[in-house]
A and B are shown apart, each in its own frame.
Chain A
Amino acid sequence: MQIENTFLKVENLSKSYKVDAPPVFDDINFEIERGEFVCIIGHSGCGKTTILNVLAGLEEASSGYAIMLGREIKGPSLERGVVFQGHALMPWMTVLQNVSFAVKSKYPDWPKTKIELHSKKYLDMVGLVNAEDKKPSELSGGMKQRVGIARAFAIEPKMLLLDEPFGALDALTRGVIQDELLKICVDTQQTVFMITHDVDEAILLSDKIMLMSNGPNAKIAEIVVNTLPKDRKRASLHHDPMYYPMRNHLVDFLVNRSKHLQASASKEGGHKHAPKIVRPGVDSI
């Protein structure tokens, strides 16, 4: 094993909630390199959130393990920042207090002014510096999610875990925040693992897209390498010649192949399941 070279390595991960029922997913194997933005797509109930929770250390897998920087993930850590599906801000704290709370957790020895300055820097990054004294209830959904992102970035984690962060937002707001997130991630070279349901979001943001087949016994069926250029923009995305091959491949998977794959995969058995690596528009499929 060359774990030293790999930033994050997941091996043979499986999870079953009941002893007699088949596992929600099993044989999950993938790697994430430093600085990579990885999205995972799959139908509801295939265990995406569980995988993310295992990576976050909030849930334990039934078998298999996840190794980050040579150490197995056991329990939550400040090395991994999480942006939750519902923004999960403390409703009694102001925006600034919410971020400062996280910063104070990471750097308990810092003086108050330094913590505030640091927090404001990240609020500024998501364009919220004017809202720092507001309570979350006074913010729109998009702004709340921005605070959540600022909070996760402010602890300067080695990896960022995003659980459908934009699921509850309207399309316009989502687009704006996607742009911001993309910019921040490029600037900070952040490693990101993100769950999404939105194919376009995945194409815009990620370097690699992992496709999960349906549960139970869900697997990572394919790892799709994003063939669009790295400096892609939301506005010009759909003009790229690689866009439609990419999009068609993903949609086709979600609509047709995810079910079919599950059936064939369960018969297979035996050896370790390694997902196929696909480059839509470049490889001939």
Chain B
Amino acid sequence: MKIVSIKVKGALVSLFILFLMLLMWHLATGQRDTPPPTGVAEASEYSALMGGGSGGGGQKSGLPTLTQMGETIYKQLSSPFYDNGPNDKGIGIQLGYSLGRVALGFLLALIVALPFGFWIGMSPLAFEAFNPFIQILKPISPLAWMPIALYTIKDSSISGIFVIFICSVWPMLINTAFGVANVRKELLNVAKTLEVNPWRKAFLVILPAAAPTILTGMRISMGIAWLVIVAAEMLVGGTGIGYFLWNEWNNLALSSVIFAILLIGIVGMLLDMVFGRLQKAVSYAD
């Protein structure tokens, strides 16, 4: 009972905080009672250039009001899959592109990191041999690979996938190796005394024992991948939520920019929740 009531209380406070934020937004962007001074022509022209004057004329700033925001959200969500050429696609299509790239890059990273991490975790020699490379490659911002990727791959979309691959691979690799190397010795001894063959041992003993650690690595990787895809798409352009965001900035459509930001946050949260669930599914109590 107590836990539930705390949850309900928390939700209520959250709603209140949301209301306060929206109120502040409203107050900050709301209409003025008196029209703005029109004495200085240059100033109003400047504000018109900056997008502020074009909308309602009487706004305090160029940021959209809540009503404008609502209109944008409604407009975007009511037809998420329209396609009017390369610079005007529905938000659903753009998100689909981004998620597709992340999924592909992430999957490739998984295919590489899991067996490789297994090997490094099992063999101290392999660990010692590869560790310096991993330690040097790991801290490199994935976007730093972009020029090399563009030069060698010569395709912006595949380069994006490559960047996702390179940023997802390290946490998964390191966590897999760590998880595999730290399987309890006595469980391995059980497998030894039962003369379990190497494949059964790998899949029925080591993998389940290391699964929680591996899933943690995957969750971290997915988080990073979702951070990176936005930046990568801003850089290479073409399609995706990152490109959409940058494109709307170039259009000075700030309400669409804010909408994209919100959407990135929500999708990121959902992805994290999915991996949280998976993590729970493979975790075990000792």
Contact = CB atoms under 8 A, between A and B. Distances in A.
Interface of A: 56-58, 76-78, 80-82, 84, 86, 88, 90-93, 101-102, 105-106, 135, 137, 155
Interface stretch (B67-75, B115-123, B126-134, B202-210): B202-210
A137 B285 contact: yes
Q: Which 6 A-B pairs have the closest CB atoms?
A: A137-B285, A105-B194, A88-B186, A92-B284, A91-B284, A76-B193
A137 B195 contact: no
Interface in B239-286: 282, 284-286
Chain B interface bracket (under 10, 10 to 19, 20 to 34, 35 or more): 20 to 34
A106 B200 CA distance: 13
B186 A86 contact: yes
B189 to A, nearest CB: 6
A156 to B, nearest CB: 13
Nearest to B282: A92
B63 to A, nearest CB: 52
A147 to B, nearest CB: 12
B7 interface: no
18 contacts: A57-B192, A76-B194, A76-B195, A80-B193, A84-B186, A84-B189, A84-B190, A86-B186, A88-B184, A88-B186, A88-B187, A90-B190, A91-B285, A92-B209, A93-B208, A101-B194, A102-B194, A105-B196
Given A102-B194, A135-B284, A137-B284, A92 B208 contact: yes
Contacts of A105: 194-196, 200
Interface in B19-64: none
A86 B184 CA distance: 11
Contacts of A93: 208
A90 B211 CA distance: 13
A56 B284 contact: no
B91 to A, nearest CB: 41
Nearest to A86: B186
Interface string B132-170: 000000000000000000000000000000000000000
Interface of B: 184, 186-187, 189-190, 192-196, 200, 204-205, 208-209, 211, 282, 284-286
Nearest to B186: A88
Nearest to A78: B195
Nearest to B212: A92
Contacts of B286: 91, 137
Q: Which of A57, A91, A93 has the most CB of B within 10 A?
A: A91
A102 B204 CA distance: 12
Contact of B194 (A78, A86, A91, A92): A78
B189 A58 contact: yes
B284 A77 contact: no
Contact of B193 (A56, A101, A135, A137): A56
Contacts of B195: 76-78, 105
A106 B194 CA distance: 7
A106 B186 CA distance: 19
Q: Which of B193, B204, B205, B285 has the most CB of A within 10 A?
A: B193
Q: Which of B194, B205, B209 has the most CB of A within 10 A?
A: B194
Contacts of A56: 193
A80 B284 CA distance: 29
